[in-house]
Structure 1
Amino acid sequence: MNKILALLVLCAGIFFFQAAMAQQTEPITNDDRPVLVEDNSSETSSILPDKERESNFSLNILLRGMLGMSVLLVLGFVLSTNRKNIPWRTVAIGLFIQVLLAIGVLYVPFVRDGFEFFGQIFVKILDFTKAGSEFLLGDLMNADTYGFIFLFQVLPTIIFFSALTSLLFYWGIIQKVVYGLAWLFTKALKISGAEALSVAGNIFLGQTESPLMIKAYLEKMSKSEILLVMSGGMATMAGGVLAAYIALLGGNDPQMRLEFAKHLLAASVMAAPAAIVFSKMLVPPTEAINKQIEVSKEKIGSNVLDAITNGTSEGVKLAVNVAAMLLTFIAFIAMFNFIIGKIGQWTSLNELIAEGTNGRYEGLSLQFILGYTFAPLMWLIGVGAEDIIVVGRLLGEKLILTEFIGYISLAELKTTAAFTHPKSVIMATYILCGFANFSSIGIQIGGIGALAPGR
């Protein structure tokens, strides 16, 4: 039971860490107009104020961000299995790296330009996917005529990106990038080579694919190392779903796609040191670590076409799984809301809720319960008081259901001017980043357990 509690706290810690850093990444401006995003018009689309962002830290922003991070650190310390062996050097350097990334994305031109460059690559990938989708679906891809159809606009991106990832893996490009990041993690944060490979791989691959790169080490890993492998998978996002989220949040507006691509990439990269910090606090290393880095030489295909074919097949499986999962979860949400809505009607709670929330909620619902449950936590990490219930609802949907449900809700809410502060949209983007939810625990136990049955 204690292990399960620690793992759930780790999930929460990872996305709260990211949100606390997002608090530093996007300062509040003086423009408090509600956020309205129109997907089909680049002239009116904006998640940020029309005027230029103000580049100053207010004392309130700084204190709220520090408070949120401090609470998380205290929580990690209290729940640690071995407080005396917590590697404070690793914790300090991990936090420092996060702060540097946050400041770099906001204030340092070449860092910001770097994230925008890679964001543009993801946007182009969406354009390439659209070309293939238009061949198959024709005018159904025209959002102006038929609206934004999730099945046609988002899921094909997962398939194409999976094929592209397989091709890059076949050529050895991903392995070289992962090796470079793993080397940096090993040197800076003093973690083992296998841990570093897994965490670095998770930035590009999924939570079940990345452990394949270190499957030879899994049986011999310590508890501390296994926890980091799992937490790294929960903290980051696979490239395929990241591209899908860019399409979902950005709609058909290239500028919006680029804006969300930059922040989603930053969130996924910043999540890696957050996972290292929190996992090493919860279960500190007590054994000597092996810093040797050996990337798996396993091929994903016998030739280029074979690699693309294998990647496409895997992408189709993932896209079908995502579609089925969303259909099931959204149907269950509707059923649950119907049941508790009837309870609210019989007990007159619906009228009280509608009056108390000024019409934001029509009655008792899952969204209402999640919003008010997580609202105090949203205030703690710096979300504007007017938006804490909305963002709290998104966090609850991510934790209890999946991040896909959370991002779908975020996409819907930002088009209906549900947010008072533009910054809240950005913070929600960071909060929802990663696979940290209940279902991921089962996925990882099954996936990693199959690779290391002795553990």
Structure 2
Amino acid sequence: QGMAWVMAKILRISGAESISVAANVFIGQTEAPLVVRPYVSGMTPSELLTLMVGGMATIAGGVLAAYVNLLGGTDPAQQLFYAKHLLSASIMAAPATIVIAKILVPEVQESQTMGTVKVTVEKTTANVIDAAATGAADGLKLALNVAAMLLAFIALIAMINWILQGVFTEILGIMINGKPVTLQVLLGYLLSPIAWVIGVPWEDAISIGSLIGQKIVINEFVAYIELSKLIPTGELSEKATIIATYALCGFANFSSIAIQIGGIGGIAPNRRKDLAKFGLRAVLGGTIATMMTATVAGVLTSLL
């Protein structure tokens, strides 16, 4: 709540969105909205996008530990090295989230939580047993919503890749560096100039661009696995590795649209259409926010 108070005062945002963004630094994109659950249904469009971008631009504390082990291997020194960078990436992404969200959808309405960061939750259960039963039912409903949306979006991406491979690779015989034409491969090459712009050395730009493409199309877990394979080979410079660690540190991918529609839409069904409308914008906002933190990391790496 202290972090939320600072952001609310400095950036002049509402209590609900500042608390949700602060919560996203430590918990996941489906859990953070629960912190401001009473206010989600009445959020302004700008607040709702901020909530979504906050989930896209950060990672949950639980998976952060997994990525530390993935990138650092069995070396405690390397684990500490990547832990500091991953935690820094999530914290830095909080103000970046607000800046980008307000650019994408400026605030033009008055928020019901403007000027306060105190969120009160109305008691809706009679006792501990009722609370446990209600929590279990709500949790199951949320999990089923997320699972159904996730399956649908993964199937959609698989269908797009099947069409691309069928047309370009199997019929036309086109391969890209020995790889079949897929959405993530195409995005990788398209994003290589972006990787260079944020500070990645040009010789590493295609590799990092490919990782960013995989992160957007599939998820950051797959991208971090690929990065963990490249680190021991010495193919990437230290600067490129650090920038990639920051650029991949977020849930901004197509599947997260489904997760947020299922998760946030589960607690505020009246906002489901808005969530779908803002889905791609949230992915864009989350991606730009992580690129901003990666750029700052690249600049500091060059100076130190």
TM-score over 0.5 for the pair: yes
Q: 1:244 to 1:288 in 2, by over 3 A?
A: same
Alpha-carbon distance in 2 for matches of 1:205, 1:385: 35
Deviation at 1:415, TM superposition (A): 2.1
Alpha-carbon distance in 2 for matches of 1:204, 1:348: 46
1:251-293 Cα deviation digits (max 9, x unpaired): 1010110000000001001111111001111111112342222
Residues 25-174 of structure 1 correspond to what in structure 2 (within 5 A)?
none
Instruction: Give yes or no for the alignment of 1:199 onto 2:21.
Output: yes
Instruction: Give yes or no for the alignment of 1:380 onto 2:197.
Output: yes
Deviation at 1:362, TM superposition (A): 3.5
Alpha-carbon distance in 2 for matches of 1:414, 1:401: 21
1:218-268 Cα deviation digits (max 9, x unpaired): 122111111111111111111001111111111101011000000000100
Which of 204, 213, 218 is residue 35 of structure 2 equivalent to? Answer: 213
SS in 2 for 1:454: helix
SS in 1 for 2:269: coil
Deviation at 1:388, TM superposition (A): 0.5
Q: Give 2:2's aligned residue.
A: 180
Preserved contact between residue 192 and residue 208 of structure 2 (Cα < 8 Å): yes
Deviation at 1:297, TM superposition (A): 5.7
Give the paired residue count.
Answer: 249
Alpha-carbon distance in 2 for matches of 1:250, 1:341: 38
Q: Give 2:108's aligned residue.
A: 286
Deviation at 1:346, TM superposition (A): 7.7
Deviation at 1:343, TM superposition (A): 6.3
Q: Give 2:86's aligned residue.
A: 264
Alpha-carbon distance in 2 for matches of 1:433, 1:186: 24
What code does the residue aligned with 1:442 have? A
Which of 243, 250, 275 is residue 427 of structure 1 equivalent to? Answer: 243
Which of 419, 433, 439 is residue 255 of structure 2 equivalent to? Answer: 439
SS in 1 for 2:116: coil
1:114-173 Cα deviation digits (max 9, x unpaired): xxxxxxxxxxxxxxxxxxxxxxxxxxxxxxxxxxxxxxxxxxxxxxxxxxxxxxxxxxxx
Deviation at 1:381, TM superposition (A): 1.7
Q: Give 2:218's aligned residue.
A: 401
Q: Give 1:134's aligned residue.
A: none
Alpha-carbon distance in 2 for matches of 1:298, 1:415: 52
Preserved contact between residue 24 and residue 58 of structure 2 (Cα < 8 Å): yes
Deviation at 1:454, TM superposition (A): 2.1
Alpha-carbon distance in 2 for matches of 1:450, 1:348: 44
Q: State TM-score, norm by structure 2.
A: 0.71
Larger radius of gyration: 1
Preserved contact between residue 38 and residue 121 of structure 2 (Cα < 8 Å): no
What code does the residue aligned with 1:418 have? E
Alpha-carbon distance in 2 for matches of 1:443, 1:435: 10
C-alpha RMSD over aligned residues = 3.4
Preserved contact between residue 185 and residue 214 of structure 2 (Cα < 8 Å): no
Q: 1:188 to 1:396 in 2, by over 3 A?
A: same
What code does the residue aligned with 2:20 have? S
Preserved contact between residue 185 and residue 213 of structure 2 (Cα < 8 Å): no
Q: 1:296 to 1:434 in 2, by over 3 A?
A: farther
Alpha-carbon distance in 2 for matches of 1:202, 1:371: 27
Q: 1:298 to 1:253 in 2, by over 3 A?
A: farther
Q: State TM-score, norm by structure 1.
A: 0.49
Deviation at 1:199, TM superposition (A): 0.4
Larger deviation, residues 280-289 vs 183-192: 280-289
1:402-428 Cα deviation digits (max 9, x unpaired): 111111111111122221x21000010
Preserved contact between residue 267 and residue 430 of structure 1 (Cα < 8 Å): yes
Preserved contact between residue 224 and residue 285 of structure 1 (Cα < 8 Å): yes
Structure 1 regions of 5+ residues with no counterpart? 1-178, 354-360
Instruction: Give yes or no for the alignment of 1:253 onto 2:75.
Output: yes
Q: Give 1:450's aligned residue.
A: 266
Alpha-carbon distance in 2 for matches of 1:210, 1:437: 18
Alpha-carbon distance in 1 for matches of 2:259, 2:220: 14
Preserved contact between residue 70 and residue 225 of structure 2 (Cα < 8 Å): yes
Instruction: Give yes or no for the alignment of 1:230 onto 2:52.
Output: yes
Preserved contact between residue 73 and residue 79 of structure 2 (Cα < 8 Å): yes
Preserved contact between residue 371 and residue 388 of structure 1 (Cα < 8 Å): no
Instruction: Give yes or no for the alignment of 1:243 onto 2:60.
Output: no
Preserved contact between residue 220 and residue 249 of structure 2 (Cα < 8 Å): yes
Which of 353, 366, 369 is residue 186 of structure 2 equivalent to? Answer: 369
1:198-218 Cα deviation digits (max 9, x unpaired): 000001111010111111111
Alpha-carbon distance in 1 for matches of 2:97, 2:228: 26
